[in-house]
Amino acid sequence: MSRFTSLNKFALLSLTGCFIALPFAESLKAEDPPPQQAEESHQEVLDGLAAVVNSDVITFSQVRELVAAREDALRHTYAGDPKELQQKIMETRMAAVNDLIDRQLILQEFKKNKYNIPEYVVDDRVQTIIREQFGGNRAAFIRTLDAQGYTLDHYREIEQDKIIVQAMRQKELKSDLVIPPRDVEDYYAKHHDEFSTPDQVKLRMIVLKKQGATDATQQAVAEEIRQKVASGADFANMAQLYSQDSTNPGGDWGWIDRKTLNDQLTKIAFGLKAGQMSNVVDSGDNYYILFVEAKKNGGVKPFKDVRDDIEKKLLQDERQDLQEKWMAKLRKKAYIKTF
């Protein structure tokens, strides 16, 4: 059966605690239920099923628990765009349901094979959390659990499930995975752009804004500033005093590549030698004086410098592929239904 069918929008939207009965609007035409009945129905939906995985269920509360922090961040990021916020929340919840389905399939596989996690492993995990996150203060840990609505036994179950899922995933990975040297070389040959560094210049720039299409006064000021630098004045000091570019104090643009400035300024900047200053440049609404402090030529990193990184990436890709094939196998023989 397919991994994930479309989640009922009513179910997804009702996870927030706000009642948005989109799919059921037509069925409510005849008569709205009494307030008490509506409230009871609301609670039933909020605590209802998000999915069934073989004989186990995934509830809305499990989904809410998994996505709560992420949704808070989304609400902050998309506060001014309700439509985009709703879309991102829907995507987050759909992903959460899929993750919970995968987790349940792994836990079922663990039980089917009659594996066992010793109690001391869970004890060690909990003690590590108390030590690292609560400074060894068990009382503070228990108070935090209570504030979040957890009992210690429930928290232990959650941590035990995490250990099981991690161990089962690790079990499916081949410990003797080896990437053939030829594959590493082929990847390097086909992905030179990943290992290329662009030409760069370390740039300072003085910007003077025009008061019209042309501004003889500002141009004269720019020429005077340039002459002072040519006579020995420090470019950074002149930029600090005169540049009207508030985003780069002291005119310091740092290291830039050929995509940072417009075509005219880019051509001039990369045409200068290290330690060289441009003439006054008339471009758009401003006059510019450019000074290149240093230059770095681009190129492709040697294979010997990136071989290990490529091998690690290919190993990670292979592990990911093995995990996906394993999960596809579990899903294929499972009964999965989403609501």
Closest to 271 measured CA to CA, from 250, 255, 245, 291: 291
Return all residues near 237 (Cβ < 8 A) that are at least 6 apart: none
Q: Which two tokens stand for residue 31?
A: 């008569």
- Which whole-number Å values give the CA distances from 62 to 4, 50, 94, 98, in the listed order? 17, 9, 13, 12
What is the Cβ-side half-sphere exposure of residue 174, based on CA atoms within 13 angstroms? 11
Answering whether pTM is above 0.85, one says no
Closest to 334 measured CA to CA, from 162, 43, 108: 108
Note whether 245 and 296 are within 8 A (CB): no
- Which whole-number Å values give the CA distances from 335 to 11, 106, 117, in the listed order? 20, 14, 26
pLDDT tens track of the chain, all 339 residues?
444 333 333 333 333 333 333 332 232 233 344 444 444 444 444 468 999 999 999 999 999 989 999 999 999 999 989 999 999 999 999 999 999 999 999 999 999 999 999 999 999 999 999 999 999 999 999 999 999 888 999 999 999 999 999 999 999 887 778 999 999 999 999 998 899 989 999 999 999 999 876 688 899 999 999 999 999 999 999 999 999 987 887 799 999 999 999 999 999 999 999 999 999 999 989 999 999 999 999 999 999 999 999 999 999 999 999 999 999 999 999 999 998
Q: Which two tokens stand for residue 293?
A: 């402090």
The Cα–Cα gap between 48 and 117 comes to: 30
